[in-house]
Amino acid sequence: MGAARARRIGTATRLATRLRERGILREDDEIDEFFVAHRIQKLAYIASMLGARLDYTFRFLECGAHSGDLALDLHSHRHGRGGDDPFGERPETLDALVDIVRERRDTRWLQMATFAVRGLREGETRDEFVDRMLDGRLGYTRRAAVDAFERVRSRAGDLGAGS
């Protein structure tokens, strides 16, 4: 494993540490466990769109944002060396992420929040977003879709990251 990959893995591990420190992840969450890693995928995408420094490319699947490289790095987290604090240059992005996902540990809600981030970046209105979420096969509710969109819109707008 090269030094650059070890550093990127270290950064992913530091992301998980910061999420634990702020109560987004539980102390006993193992980042290489499938469902925890799935949640971290969503959190990492939202964080990166808010301005956190993460070196991952995300694709959208039916279940929201996903990065193959991040999946590998989370699985290999014991091999990470060093790494950067992804919120180091813009600590306000961690506060915004916490505000968006506060009391929202449900993976399906996080999936929808990644769609809300993408929709806002593409100029989608709240009504367009809600209609799109209700047209999908994942069974989202109108109330949850509005909640996800408004939470993301509010904090992304505060950071100038929503456009």
Span 70-97, pLDDT tens digits: 999 998 877 666 788 999 888 999 999 9
Residue 163 confidence (pLDDT):
43
Residue 156 token pair = 């992304």
Low-confidence ranges of the chain (pLDDT < 50): 162-163
Residue 153 confidence (pLDDT):
92
Residue 159 confidence (pLDDT):
56
- Give CA–CA dist 2/136, Å, rounded: 41
Q: Which amino acid is at 160?
A: G
Structural domain tally of the chain? 1
**Structural domain for 61, as ranges:** 3-159
Q: Return the residue matching tokens 């819109």.
A: 153
- Cβ density class 127-148: b for 16+ within 10 Å, e for less: eebbeebeeeeeebeeebbbbb
139: left (phi over 0), alpha (psi -120 to 50) or beta: left
